[in-house]
Structure 1
């Protein structure tokens, strides 16, 4: 058992089991990361069938992120485990996808490095303020996540050659929003810490 947290106030609302629907989906997302990696490696980004399988695995894993967050907030199941495991699962999935896409020369390495620095930096800041409250995802943060998912899915799927030009535009939008929302998150974290003090 662990203490559930009211996401609006960041205060305990009572004991709930660690094994609940939201945490189970987070665990599923973590379990799908190695499956996704194996599928991409087997495909070598050249075999359409394996690429489609990898893309669908990534899409399913990404969908669990949306669902587990909604369940945790809707039913007051925001646990200490979830607050730690959820961002780790997110970064593991997105990080693995970006690293593999750069390794197979689908996206430039600087894009992967920039996004990962932002993502892991925000995760560290989240742990820095976790005792004082949860910084809710902003609309910009949700747009960032959506753009990253769409961009990665686009690069994973074996799109026709004449449509390959679309991918860099989607990823470019994801990079811009990723950087801007990262700066916004840093400012909100410092405001939260200052308010607590």
Structure 2
């Protein structure tokens, strides 16, 4: 399978959007509404490319080794950059960023270890976790401090859901990897 395909191009676009997103997020004093809305739009486009690149790759047989590696890296870079940026600006507590990033980095390392035996695909829980994280982060990127407090309450409720899903899906992934490893060992 050729590396140059639409799915991998979208992954590349997402990688390029990460520093552009950060520039918009920190533009001005980091809390100017116009720049924050621009940062949100860039973040939203990047999240949408994640949805489409995987669907295209699976539907049209464009799955490549490059895509299998680059797609999760692009996802982690986007989520990580957004969370670190929001924590640096004081909009998201550092503990939220640390919990999510430790899980993401831990699962990435586990995937690399398991990669030689095959890929453990993301389950429904992982896909839901990614969606909820993206919605929560997107809401915090928006200039909610200028909006009514119910919006901020909604953003926090979704962020809490993201943290809980992040932890639960991380545990589930580790359990599946251990079970898969034991089954492979027993089959030898």
Q: TM-score range by the shorter chain?
A: over 0.9
Task: Report runs of 4+ in structure 1 exceeding 3 Å deviation.
Answer: none
Picking from 34, 47, 55, the partner of 2:32 is 47
TM-score of the two chains, using structure 1 as the length reference = 0.88
Q: Could you tell me how far apart the structure 2 residues matched to 1:43 and 1:166 are? A: 26
Superposed displacement of residue 121, structure 1: 0.5
Q: Could you tell me how far apart the structure 1 residues matched to 2:83 and 2:154 are? A: 17
Deviates more, 1:38-47 or 1:145-154: 38-47
Picking from 69, 88, 104, the partner of 1:84 is 69
CA-based RMSD of the aligned residues comes to 1.2
> Is the 2:40–2:138 Cα contact (8 Å) retained in structure 1?
yes
Superposed displacement of residue 18, structure 1: 0.7
Superposed displacement of residue 148, structure 1: 0.5
Deviations 1:142-180 (A, max 9, x none): 111111001011111123132222221110010000000
The SS at the match of 2:116 is coil
Picking from 38, 50, 59, the partner of 1:65 is 50
Picking from 161, 173, 187, the partner of 2:148 is 161
Paired position in structure 2 for 1:29? 14
Deviations 1:89-117 (A, max 9, x none): 00000000000111111111001000000
Superposed displacement of residue 43, structure 1: 4.2
Correspondence 1:194 to 2:176: no
TM-score of the two chains, using structure 2 as the length reference = 0.92
> Is the 1:45–1:156 Cα contact (8 Å) retained in structure 2?
no
Residues matched between the structures, number: 182
